[in-house]
């Protein structure tokens, strides 16, 4: 066997590694996501090629990812049965920067003169394989490509400018195909080698990767074992138990280790909506968002055409406690995936306007880069289109609640999120048409239950042109307003705007179904009952008197 050969990294790689380690130290978690996504890519490539070359699968049919931890020694191994790498590919892929994500990153880095911008930049691009060095002092990549009959080991230390490649000679380490990464963790990062920690990271970042991810977990089962009686006890009981010799048993826990499937290979949003039950949607919701209450509504859809994405959205059944949720759009309510890899839930109005930030859900797109950042999101045309569609779907979903068999559902929605929609009247002119039918108000003819604007319009008098309202601080005081009397007499309904935000919201809407909102407490209220004949008569009768009064009183 030829000895290990030593190679120098391309200068840019060393630079990149320094940058990664120095700027992502507070976000080390990402290493696992990156390595799992590489494993998943390698499996994808193999699956794709095997369609035309089924022989590629011959030694190992299972396409999966296995992660094993050795917490005593601080070692993590990540094994996939994917496409693997030849010796040359090891040189090309892990020694130089040829790959798209990282190449773009370096280009942007060169163009940026401002050194401080580097740590900003790094969040935008794929940090990829080298993120292994965020937590490892040494990384070993043992890999076998179906194109080669030999298995090779690539090895490097953190902060090193070189790496080695040698043939794998340890028979216990031979794999039929694919790649095994061994991470020897830095002293301070050995905590990552705990099975529970890995499990959590997988579930948080890679729950919906489309290949099974198994983690090596300690399990236990209970069993009954016979035990010898304590001799002292036995003596004491001797007299009464002369005849029946009872055997004592005790429950013990047997521990063992085994592979445990840690992700969900078929994420709910990839399934056919017709085949998913409400219970399953609700379960997914509760698990994903740590909720214990069922959602009020859900919506599962796929959009095609200009931008393709799949999504499941939910309306929670209760608004979060805490008064500032309505102003704070950073609710972590929308989880964005790109090709089933979790990217972020840290949004600030990019996917939903802040007044809809109570909507929860997952969005999965194939059209965004895997390492999409906040900056990219804000400027992306794709994201703008996604946002438009998401908002529409959210409104459809809310409208669906108004049609629910259970009338309490919408009452509940309105109680929790009515304020949000009113804020929408102020902040989102473009969607007035969608928001207005969802609004609810008390009125002079409905003091107990709120009514919709449609119900109001239905109930308008034949000659009534406008929608009347009065703003007040409670239903009681609205009821007693002096302006109201005249309209009540005529049996004309008046909306009671009793929430401070109501009036501003209504003023922003201006009209509904071409009927203007009119404040009855304003002067010149035209009730549409002006009679010109009568006006003339009155003018004739009192005209002179009026003139006289005007003159006398100035
Ligand atoms: P990217 O994934 O954006 O291409 P990475 O730095 O993550 O960049 O990986 C660099 C390259 O190394 C990959 O493109 C791939 O060719 C190769 N590679 C990394 N991990 C694996 C793996 N588990 N199996 C096969 N090839 C891999
Ligand atoms: Mg990668």
| Model confidence pTM above 0.90 | no
Residue 101: the pLDDT is 53
For a pocket test of ligand 1, which of 129, 163, 369 has the largest count of ligand atoms closer than 8 A to its C-beta?
Answer: 129
Flag whether 331 is marked binding: no
Residue 371: the pLDDT is 65
Flag whether 441 is marked binding: no
- Max CA distance (Å), the chain: 128
Q: Which two tokens stand for residue 433?
A: 């048409």
Strand pairing partners for 217? 258
The closest residue, in CA terms, to atom 13 on ligand 1 is 93
Q: How far is CA 482 from CA 449, 488, 499, 541, in A?
A: 23, 11, 20, 28
Say which residues have a Cβ less than 8 Å from residue 156's Cβ, sequence separation at least 6: 138, 139, 162, 163, 164
Report the C-alpha gap between 151 and 165 in whole angstroms. Answer: 10
Residue 123: the pLDDT is 46
Report the C-alpha gap between 472 and 520 in whole angstroms. Answer: 12
Residue 240: the pLDDT is 56
Residue 70: the pLDDT is 97
Q: Which two tokens stand for residue 517?
A: 């909102």
The closest residue, in CA terms, to atom 11 on ligand 1 is 93
Flag whether 128 is marked binding: yes
Cβ proximity of 64 and 211 under 8 Å: yes
Report the C-alpha gap between 191 and 74 in whole angstroms. Answer: 7
Residue 215: the pLDDT is 97
Cα 301 to its chain centre, rounded Å, is 15
The closest residue, in CA terms, to atom 16 on ligand 1 is 93
Say which residues have a Cβ less than 8 Å from residue 233's Cβ, sequence separation at least 6: none
Angle between helix 11-23 and 100-111 (nearest 10): 80
Q: Which two tokens stand for residue 409?
A: 């559902």
- Give the closest residue to 409 by CA, choosing from 422, 424, 399: 399
Cβ proximity of 348 and 366 under 8 Å: no
Cβ proximity of 91 and 6 under 8 Å: no
End-to-end Cα, the chain, rounded Å: 117
Ligand nearest to the CA of 100: 1
State the distance from the centre of ligand 1 to the C-alpha of 43, rounded, in angstroms. 11
For a pocket test of ligand 1, which of 38, 133, 371 has the largest count of ligand atoms closer than 8 A to its C-beta?
Answer: 38
Say which residues have a Cβ less than 8 Å from residue 417's Cβ, sequence separation at least 6: 315, 319, 358
Report the C-alpha gap between 420 and 359 in whole angstroms. Answer: 11
Report the C-alpha gap between 206 and 343 in whole angstroms. Answer: 9
Flag whether 127 is marked binding: yes
Site of tokens 């999504």: 311
Residue 15: the pLDDT is 79
Report the C-alpha gap between 532 and 243 in whole angstroms. Answer: 117
- Tens of pLDDT along the chain (554 residues) come to 789 999 999 888 887 788 778 777 778 888 998 899 899 989 988 987 887 788 888 777 899 999 999 999 999 999 999 999 999 999 988 988 755 555 655 566 566 555 455 545 554 455 689 899 999 999 999 999 999 999 999 999 998 999 999 999 999 999 999 999 999 999 999 999 999 999 999 988 888 788 999 999 999 999 999 887 666 665 655 555 555 556 788 999 999 999 999 998 888 999 999 999 999 899 889 888 888 889 999 999 999 888 999 999 999 998 876 555 556 667 789 999 888 878 888 888 889 999 999 999 999 998 887 666 777 777 888 899 999 999 999 999 999 999 998 889 999 999 999 999 999 999 999 999 999 999 999 999 999 999 999 999 999 999 999 999 999 999 999 999 888 988 999 999 999 999 999 999 999 999 999 999 999 988 667 665 556 677 788 888 888 888 899 888 87
Residues with CB under 6 A from ligand 1: 34, 38-39, 41-42, 80, 82-85, 93-94, 99, 101-102, 126, 128-129, 179
For a pocket test of ligand 1, which of 83, 99, 125 has the largest count of ligand atoms closer than 8 A to its C-beta?
Answer: 99
Flag whether 21 is marked binding: no
The closest residue, in CA terms, to atom 23 on ligand 1 is 39
At 32, phi and psi to the nearest 5? -70, -40
SS3 annotation, 13-68:
HHHHHHHHHHHCHHHCCHHHHHHHHHHHHHHHHHHHHHHHCHHHHCCCCCCCEEEE
Do you know the residue count of the chain?
Answer: 554
Report the C-alpha gap between 27 and 16 in whole angstroms. Answer: 16
Q: Which two tokens stand for residue 400?
A: 């669906």
Report the C-alpha gap between 539 and 529 in whole angstroms. Answer: 17
Which atom of ligand 1 sits closest to the CA of residue 84? 25
């Amino acid at each position: 066997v030829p000895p290990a050969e030593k190679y120098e990294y391309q200068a840019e790689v060393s630079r990149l590694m320094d940058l990664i380690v120095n700027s992502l130290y507070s976000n080390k978690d990402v290493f696992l996501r990156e390595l799992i996504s590489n494993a998943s890519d390698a499996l994808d490539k193999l699956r794709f090629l095997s369609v035309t070359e089924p022989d590629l699968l011959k030694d190992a049919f299972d396409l999966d990812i296995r992660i094993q931890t050795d917490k005593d020694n601080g070692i993590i191994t990540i094994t996939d049965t994917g496409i693997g790498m030849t010796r040359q590919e090891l040189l090309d892929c892990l020694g130089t920067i040829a790959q798209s994500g990282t190449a773009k990153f370096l280009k942007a880095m060169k163009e940026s003169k401002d050194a401080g911008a580097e740590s900003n930049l790094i969040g935008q691009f794929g940090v990829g394989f080298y993120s292994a060095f965020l937590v490892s002092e040494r990384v070993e990549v043992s890999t076998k490509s179906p194109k080669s009959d030999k298995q090779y080991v690539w090895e490097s230390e953190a902060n090193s400018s070189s790496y080695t490649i040698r043939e794998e000679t340890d028979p216990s380490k031979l794999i039929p195909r694919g790649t095994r990464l061994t991470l020897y963790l830095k002293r301070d990062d050995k905590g990552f080698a705990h099975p529970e920690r890995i499990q959590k990271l997988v579930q948080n970042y890679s729950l919906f990767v489309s290949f099974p991810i198994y983690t090596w977990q300690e399990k236990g089962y209970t069993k009954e074992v016979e035990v010898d009686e304590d001799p002292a006890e036995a003596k004491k009981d001797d007299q009464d138990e002369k005849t029946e010799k009872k055997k004592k048993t005790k429950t013990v826990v047997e521990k063992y280790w085994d592979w445990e499937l840690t992700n969900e290979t078929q994420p709910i949003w990839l399934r056919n909506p017709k085949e998913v039950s409400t219970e399953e949607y609700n379960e997914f919701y509760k698990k994903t968002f740590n909720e214990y209450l069922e959602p009020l509504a859900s919506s599962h859809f796929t959009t095609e055409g200009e931008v393709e994405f799949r999504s499941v959205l939910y309306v929670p059944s209760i608004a979060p406690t805490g008064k500032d949720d309505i102003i704070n759009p950073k609710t972590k309510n929308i989880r964005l995936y790109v090709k089933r890899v979790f990217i972020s839930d840290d949004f600030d109005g990019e996917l939903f306007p802040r007044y809809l930030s109570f909507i929860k859900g997952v969005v999965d797109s194939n059209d965004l880069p895997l390492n999409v950042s906040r900056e990219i999101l804000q400027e992306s045309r794709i994201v703008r289109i996604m946002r438009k569609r998401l908002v529409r779907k959210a409104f459809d979903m809310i409208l669906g609640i108004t049609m629910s068999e259970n009338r309490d559902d919408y009452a509940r929605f309105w109680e929790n999120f009515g304020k949000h929609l009113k804020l929408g009247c102020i902040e989102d002119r473009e969607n007035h048409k969608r928001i207005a039918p969802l609004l609810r108000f008390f009125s002079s003819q409905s003091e107990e239950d709120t009514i919709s604007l449609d119900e109001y319009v239905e109930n308008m008098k034949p000659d009534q042109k406008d929608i009347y309202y009065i703003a007040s601080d409670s239903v009681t005081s609205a009821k007693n307003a002096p302006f109201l009397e005249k309209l009540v007499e005529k049996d004309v309904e008046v909306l009671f705007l009793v929430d401070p935000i109501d009036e501003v919201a209504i003023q922003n809407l201006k009209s509904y179904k071409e009927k203007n909102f009119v404040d009855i407490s304003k002067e010149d209220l035209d009730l549409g009952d002006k009679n010109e004949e009568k006006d003339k008569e009155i003018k004739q009768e009192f005209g002179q008197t009026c003139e006289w009064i005007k003159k006398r009183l100035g």
